[in-house]
Amino acid sequence: MTDSAPFCAARLEPGAIVKLISSVTIVLLACSISWEAWPAAGALLAVTLAALACAGVRLAVLCRRLGLFLPIMSLIALSIPLSQGFTSTWLQISATVLLRGVISFLSGLWLIHVLPFDNLLLTMRGLRVPAVVVACLAMMHRYLFVLWEEIERLRTARRARRFGRPSRIFDWLAAVGLIGTLVIRSLDRGHRIHRAMLARGWDGHLRPWP
């Protein structure tokens, strides 16, 4: 199958193209806005939040997603002054990185709420996004659920051997162990998947199929 396969054009939905392009445009705009243009960034954030509201994303869901994303993004934003020194503009730089990250994240969140993932991949293929990128996303999506199931199994096993109410410190230590186990299991799984791919002729070149 080549990138220009006819199925893409035939099954592309105009609405899906508009959604994908809108989301990418918001990300690009967010990344190009400087600190001085903070009102524009605020307006972009407001537009994205409004789009999420229109998509029916509940506030509780949004807060949960942001609760997972913000700590990571804050660490990334802080890593800049930590590595380059706390100059007079460190706060502006970190805030800009944080704001750009949040707007981009919200834009992506909106996209996956309004466009089913299969449709998203199909639209990307139709818009000539490199097949490698689309195939990587497809595989990531496939194994994200497998990884999540693995986490759930580990958590269940941990709960099954937890008697009484443990302290918060114990909980944190157990979580660290769980993450470590998950990394090792994921590496093992990665090896097994690679072997299974080799067994079916994988030669390092992606050949997407409709």
Partner 1 sequence: MTSAVAVDVQNLTFGYVGGPDVLHDITFRIAPAERVALLGPSGAGKSTLLLHLNALLPEPLPLPSDDHRTAVTIDGLPATPEHAAEIRRRVGVLFQNPTDQLFGATVGRDVAFGPLHLNLDDTEIQARVDQALADVNLEAFAERDTARLSLGERKRACLAGVLACRPGCLALDEPFANLDPRGRRQLAEILTGFPGTLILATHDLALVRELTDRIIVLDNGRLCADAIAEVVLDDVQLLQRHGLVA
Q: Which residue shows structure tokens 């080549």? A: 2
Phi-psi region of 102 (alpha: psi -120 to 50; beta: other; left: phi over 0): alpha
> Which residues, 177 to 206, sit near partner 1 by CB under 8 A?
189, 191-193, 195-203
198 vs 200: CA distance, rounded Å:
5
Q: Which is nearer to partner 1, 47 or 135 (CB)?
A: 135
Choose which of 11, 141, 158, 185 interacts with partner 1 (CB under 8 A).
141
User: What's the min distance (Å) between Cβ of 181 and partner 1?
Assistant: 17
The end-to-end CA distance of the chain, in Å, is: 8
Nearest Cα neighbor of 66 from 44, 54, 81, 48 is 48
Choose which of 58, 142, 153, 162 interacts with partner 1 (CB under 8 A).
142
Contact 57, 107 (CB under 8 A): no
Binding mask 34-63 for partner 1 (x = CB under 8 A): ------------------------------
Q: Which is nearer to partner 1, 145 or 163 (CB)?
A: 145
69 vs 63: CA distance, rounded Å:
10
User: What's the min distance (Å) between Cβ of 206 and partner 1?
Assistant: 9
User: What's the min distance (Å) between Cβ of 23 and partner 1?
Assistant: 20
User: What's the min distance (Å) between Cβ of 126 and partner 1?
Assistant: 16
Choose which of 139, 175, 183, 184 interacts with partner 1 (CB under 8 A).
139
Q: Please tell me whether residue 4 binds partner 1 under the rule CB under 8 A.
A: no
| Residue 148, burial from CB neighbour count under 10 angstroms (0-12, 13-18, 19+) | exposed
Q: Where are the beta strands (DSSP E) in 112-194?
A: none
Q: Which residue shows structure tokens 């051997």? A: 161
> Which residues, 71 to 130, sit near partner 1 by CB under 8 A?
118, 121
Q: Please tell me whether residue 153 binds partner 1 under the rule CB under 8 A.
A: no
Task: Check residue 37 and report its DSSP letter.
Answer: G
- Cβ neighbour number for residue 111 with a 10 Å cutoff: 21
Which parts of this chain interact with partner 1 (CB under 8 A)?
1, 118, 121, 138-139, 141-143, 145-146, 189, 191-193, 195-203, 207, 209-210
